[in-house]
C-alpha cells in the first residue's frame, strides 16, 4: 500500500538552527498518527513542512504519490507544491478563520476560487461538513460571534470541504479553554472513526492514547521512537521517550 | 455600603456605592463638556467682535476693532461660495487617484521582486523629497513646455493625487501588515495562490483598516487643494477669494470668507469622519 504521506530524510534549518534532523516518516491511508514531544522539539515544523508552509532545507515530501524534493525553486516546483496543498487539509492552533467572511463563506472560499467548483456545489459540500461538525445553525454567523471551540470546528469543516487526502492538525486544542477542548476532540474522533487519514501534533495524551493508530515521539528535531499507543505509553523503549511520558502522563 | 435584597420597584431604594460613584463621574463629565462648549462659544464671540468694527472707549482705554467692508462681503460671498463645489470635486477626485497610487505603492513596497520594490520606493522618495507646491506648479507650468497640456482640473488632480498617494502608501502598507500571518498561511494551506490570497483575504481586511485614516487624508486634501489656485486654472474657493480680493483691494475680507468656508467644511467632514470611525469600530465587537 502506498502511503498518503511519506517524509524522507527531511532536514530543516532556521538560519543556523538545525530544527529537523534527517526525519523520515510515513502515514498510511486511514491511519491516525499523533506527533508528540516537548515544545520546540520540531513537531509543528515537521507538520508545516508537509504542505510547504515551511520550505524544507533537504529531503523529500511525498503526498498521495506526488514527490517534491526540497531546495528547488521555479514555476514547476510551485505547481507541485500547489498540488500537494490541495491534497492536504490543515487545522491551525489559532483557527485562522477569515474574519471578514461568514462561516459558510469561509468554507466555500477555497473550493470556489481554487478548485473552481460552482458555488452551489461548493455550498452543498460545505453544508455537509458543517453539519458533520455540528454547526449548521451557525452557517451565516461571522467568526467573531463564535466560541473558540466553534471556530476550530468551522476551521475543520473548511479544510474538509476541499476533500483532502490527509488532514494535518497543528495543536488544534492548545488555544482553547479547557472546557472547550472536548467538542473539538469529539469531532476529530468522529473523523478518525470514519477513516479520515490524519496527522496530529498534540499535547492531548488522552486523545493520542484513545484515537491514534500510531504515535511518533520527537525530541530536538529527531524522531526518537514510534509505535502503537498501547506499547508507546506503557513500555517505551528509548529512555528519552520514557522520561517525557513520565512527566506528562 | 452594603445593599441587601430590597424588594424591587420601591422608589426610595437606596443607591449603591457603585451607582453613586458612576453618577459623580457622569456629573463631572457633563460639567467638562459644558465648560468646553461655553468656552468655544465665548471664543467665537470674541473672534466676531474682533472683526465687528465696533469702536468705544472704556475710560482712558479706546477700543477699536477691525472694520470689514460689509458691502464687498455681501456682493462677493455668493461668487466665492461657488468655489466650494470645485474644491470638493478636486479633493474627491484627487483622493480617489491617491488611494489607487497608495495601494499600488504599498503592494510594490511589499514585493520581493527587486524592480517593483525599487519603483515603489523611488516614487515615494521622489514625491516626499520635493515640495507639494513645486509639484502642483510643475504640472501646470513645466509640462506645457514639453508639449503636454492638461486641462486645469486634471493637472491639479494628478499633482495632488501623486503627492497624497506617496504619503498614503504607508497607511495601506500598515493595513496590509496589520493582517495576521495566520490569515496568509490559512489561505495558502487551502491552495490559494499569492494573488488570490492578497485579493480575497488580505486586502479586504487591510482596506477596512485603512478607511478611517483615508478619511483624515481627505480632510487634509480639502485644504491642500487651495494650492491649485496658484496656477489660475481651477476656480475653487481659494482662487475665487484671491481673485476677488485683489481686484477690489479687499484681500482681508475675501480671505476671511474663504477661511470660513474651509473651516466649516472641515468641521462638517470631521463629523462625518467620526461617525464613520464609530461605525467601522462597531464591526469589531
Average pLDDT over residues B210-234: 88
Average pLDDT over residues B23-51: 94
Q: Which of A28-32, A155-159, A231-235 has the lowest mean pLDDT?
A: A231-235
Where does the pLDDT of residue A212 fall: very low under 50, low under 70, confident under 90, or very high at 90 and above?
very high
Residue-level pLDDT at B59: 83
Nearest CA in chain B to A82: B191
Q: What is the pLDDT of residues A38-59, one digit of tens each?
A: 999 999 999 999 999 999 999 9
A27 Cα distance to chain centroid: 12
Is B189's Cβ below 8 Å from some Cβ in A?
yes
Dist CA A193 CA A191 (whole Å):
5
Dist CA A68 CA A210 (whole Å):
33
Give B206 to chain A, closest Cα distance, Å.
11
Cα four-point dihedral sign B164, B165, B166, B170: positive
Q: Which of A53-62, A120-129, B148-157, B237-246 has the lowest mean pLDDT?
A: B148-157
Q: What is the pLDDT of residues B187-200, one digit of tens each?
A: 999 999 999 999 99
For residues A138 and B54, the model is more confident at: A138
Residue-level pLDDT at B184: 96
Q: Do A98 and B193 touch (CB under 8 A)?
A: no
Cα–Cα distances (Å) from B13 to B8, B10, B17, B20, B25, in that order, read 8, 6, 13, 13, 21
pLDDT surpasses 80 at B46: yes
A-chain residues within 8 Å CB-CB of B113? none
Nearest CA in chain A to B181: A96
Is A47's Cβ below 8 Å from some Cβ in B?
no
Q: Say if residues A46 and A23 touch (Cβ distance below 8 Å).
A: yes
Average pLDDT over residues A3-21: 95
Q: What is the pLDDT of residues B133-168, one digit of tens each?
A: 999 988 888 888 888 888 888 888 999 999 999 999
- Cell output for B160: 495632488
Q: Which of A71-80, A92-101, A140-149, B226-235 has the lowest mean pLDDT?
A: B226-235
Q: Which of A39-43, B33-37, B56-60 has the lowest mean pLDDT?
A: B56-60
- φ and ψ at B251, to 5 degrees? -60, -40
Residue-level pLDDT at B285: 40
Where does the pLDDT of residue A33 fall: very low under 50, low under 70, confident under 90, or very high at 90 and above?
very high
Which positions 65-84 of A are in contact with B (Cβ < 8 Å)?
82
Question: What would the DSSP string read from start to end of B216-266?
Answer: HHHHHHHHHGGGGGGGT----HHHHHHHHHHHHT-HHHHHHHHHHHHHHHH
Q: What is the mean pLDDT of chain B?
A: 89
**Nearest CB to B183: which of A82, A85, A96?**
A96
Residues 6+ apart with CB under 8 A from B145: none
Residue-level pLDDT at B258: 93
Q: Say if residues A46 and A79 touch (Cβ distance below 8 Å).
A: no
**Nearest CB to B200: which of A97, A113, A159?**
A113
* pTM for this predicted structure: 0.81
Is A178's Cβ below 8 Å from some Cβ in B?
no
List domains and CATH numbers for chain B: 25-64 (no CATH), 70-278 (1.10.3720.10)
Q: Say if residues A143 and A99 touch (Cβ distance below 8 Å).
A: yes
Amino acid at each position: 500500500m502506498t502511503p498518503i504521506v511519506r517524509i524522507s530524510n527531511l532536514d530543516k534549518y532556521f538560519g543556523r538552527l538545525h530544527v529537523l534532523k534527517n526525519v523520515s516518516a510515513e502515514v498510511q491511508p486511514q491511519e491516525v498518527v499523533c506527533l508528540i514531544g516537548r515544545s520546540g522539539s520540531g513537531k509543528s515544523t515537521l507538520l508545516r513542512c508537509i504542505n510547504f508552509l515551511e520550505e524544507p532545507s533537504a529531503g523529500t515530501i511525498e503526498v498521495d504519490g506526488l514527490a517534491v524534493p526540497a531546495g528547488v525553486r521555479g514555476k514547476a516546483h510551485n505547481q507541485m507544491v500547489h498540488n500537494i496543498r490541495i491534497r492536504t487539509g490543515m487545522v491551525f492552533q489559532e483557527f485562522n478563520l477569515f474574519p471578514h467572511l461568514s462561516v459558510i463563506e469561509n468554507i466555500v472560499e477555497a473550493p470556489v476560487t481554487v478548485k473552481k467548483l460552482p458555488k452551489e456545489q461548493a455550498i452543498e459540500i460545505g453544508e455537509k461538513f458543517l453539519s458533520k461538525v455540528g454547526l449548521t445553525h451557525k452557517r451565516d454567523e461571522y467568526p467573531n460571534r463564535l466560541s473558540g471551540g466553534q471556530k476550530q470546528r468551522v476551521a475543520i469543516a473548511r479544510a474538509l470541504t476541499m476533500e483532502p487526502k490527509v488532514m494535518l492538525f497543528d495543536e488544534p486544542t492548545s488555544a482553547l479553554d479547557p472546557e472547550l477542548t472536548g467538542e473539538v476532540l469529539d469531532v476529530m474522533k468522529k473523523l478518525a472513526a470514519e477513516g479520515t487519514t490524519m496527522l496530529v501534533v498534540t499535547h492531548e495524551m488522552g486523545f493520542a492514547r484513545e484515537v491514534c493508530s500510531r504515535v511518533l515521539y520527537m525530541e530536538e528535531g529527531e524522531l526518537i521512537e514510534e509505535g502503537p499507543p498501547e506499547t508507546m505509553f506503557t513500555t517505551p523503549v528509548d529512555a528519552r521517550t520514557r522520561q517525557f511520558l513520565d512527566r506528562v502522563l | 455600603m452594603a445593599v441587601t435584597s430590597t424588594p424591587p420597584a420601591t422608589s426610595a431604594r437606596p443607591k449603591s456605592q457603585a451607582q453613586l460613584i458612576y453618577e459623580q463621574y457622569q456629573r463631572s463629565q457633563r460639567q467638562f463638556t459644558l465648560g468646553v462648549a461655553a468656552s468655544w462659544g465665548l471664543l467665537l464671540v470674541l473672534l466676531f467682535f474682533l472683526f465687528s468694527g465696533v469702536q468705544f472707549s472704556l475710560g482712558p482705554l479706546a477700543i477699536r476693532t477691525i472694520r470689514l467692508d460689509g458691502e464687498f462681503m455681501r456682493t462677493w460671498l455668493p461668487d466665492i461660495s461657488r468655489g466650494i463645489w470645485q474644491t470638493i470635486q478636486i479633493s474627491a477626485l484627487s483622493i480617489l487617484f491617491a488611494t489607487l497610487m497608495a495601494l499600488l505603492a504599498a503592494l510594490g513596497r511589499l514585493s520581493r521582486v527587486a524592480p517593483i520594490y525599487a519603483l515603489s520606493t523611488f516614487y515615494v522618495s521622489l514625491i516626499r523629497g520635493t515640495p507639494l507646491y513645486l509639484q502642483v506648479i510643475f504640472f501646470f507650468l513645466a509640462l506645457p513646455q514639453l508639449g503636454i497640456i492638461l486641462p486645469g482640473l486634471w493637472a491639479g488632480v494628478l499633482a495632488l493625487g501623486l503627492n497624497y498617494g506617496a504619503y498614503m502608501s504607508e497607511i495601506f502598507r500598515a493595513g496590509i501588515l496589520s493582517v495576521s500571518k495566520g490569515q496568509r498561511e490559512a489561505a495558502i494551506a487551502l491552495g490559494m495562490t499569492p494573488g488570490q490570497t492578497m485579493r480575497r483575504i488580505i486586502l479586504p481586511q487591510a482596506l477596512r483598516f485603512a478607511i478611517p485614516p483615508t478619511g483624515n487624508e481627505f480632510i487634509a486634501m480639502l485644504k491642500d487643494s487651495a494650492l491649485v489656485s496658484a496656477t489660475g486654472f481651477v476656480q475653487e474657493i481659494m482662487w475665487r477669494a484671491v481673485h476677488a480680493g485683489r481686484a477690489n483691494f479687499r484681500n482681508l475680507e475675501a480671505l476671511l470668507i474663504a477661511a470660513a468656508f474651509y473651516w466649516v467644511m472641515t468641521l462638517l467632514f470631521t463629523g462625518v469622519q467620526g461617525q464613520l470611525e464609530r461605525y467601522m469600530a462597531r464591526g469589531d465587537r
